[in-house]
Amino acid sequence: QQPVQSPQAVILREGEDAVINCSSSKALYSVHWYRQKHGEAPVFLMILLKGGEQKGHDKISASFNEKKQQSSLYLTASQLSYSGTYFCGTEDPETSGSRLTFGEGTQLTVNP
């Protein structure tokens, strides 16, 4: 069952902040966040493992609430280069090959 992402789309001005949410109805091993620009492959941003940890990388950070089966991606002081579609991919303990199941994506547009 695929995770649900919200919002579907967000438009920001450079320097503004955004939060993208990802929730699942199933227990999760991990949540993986990717950014994809048009016509390109998804680029890995970060992985959140069960345990409620928060990770950060430059001005992008994320949290994972295992009990609520939710993850949020925080983009702070957005830059033009942040534009793209953000996907969360979830991994659940029931699948033998540890596939990633992706949400529908959140389209982020950062304008000058």
Partner 1 sequence: EPEVTQTPSHQVTQMGQEVILRCVPISNHLYFYWYRQILGQKVEFLVSFYNNEISEKSEIFDDQFSVERPDGSNFTLKIRSTKLEDSAMYFCASRWGQSQETQYFGPGTRLLVL
The yes or no reply on residue 40 touching partner 1 (CB under 8 A) is yes
What 3-state DSSP class applies to 13?
Answer: strand
Stretch that binds partner 1, among 14-22, 39-47, 65-73, 75-83 (CB under 8 A): 39-47
**Amino acid at the residue 3:** P
Closer CB to partner 1, residue 25 or residue 112? 25
Closer CB to partner 1, residue 74 or residue 102? 102
The yes or no reply on residue 27 touching partner 1 (CB under 8 A) is no
Q: Which residues lie below 8 Å from residue 81, measured CB to CB, with a gap of 6+?
A: 110
What is the rounded distance in angstroms from the CA atom of residue 70 to the CA atom of residue 65? 5
**Amino acid at the residue 80:** L
Query: Exposed (0-12), middle (13-18) or buried (19+): which is 1, by Cβ within 10 Å?
Result: exposed
Please report, as residue ranges, which positions from 43 to 82 form the binding site for partner 1 (by CB under 8 A).
43-44, 47, 49
Write the binding mask 91 to 110 for partner 1: x where contact by CB under 8 A, - elsewhere.
x---xxxxxxxxxxx-----
Site for partner 1, rule CB under 8 A? 2, 29-30, 32, 34, 40-44, 47, 49, 87, 89, 91, 95-105
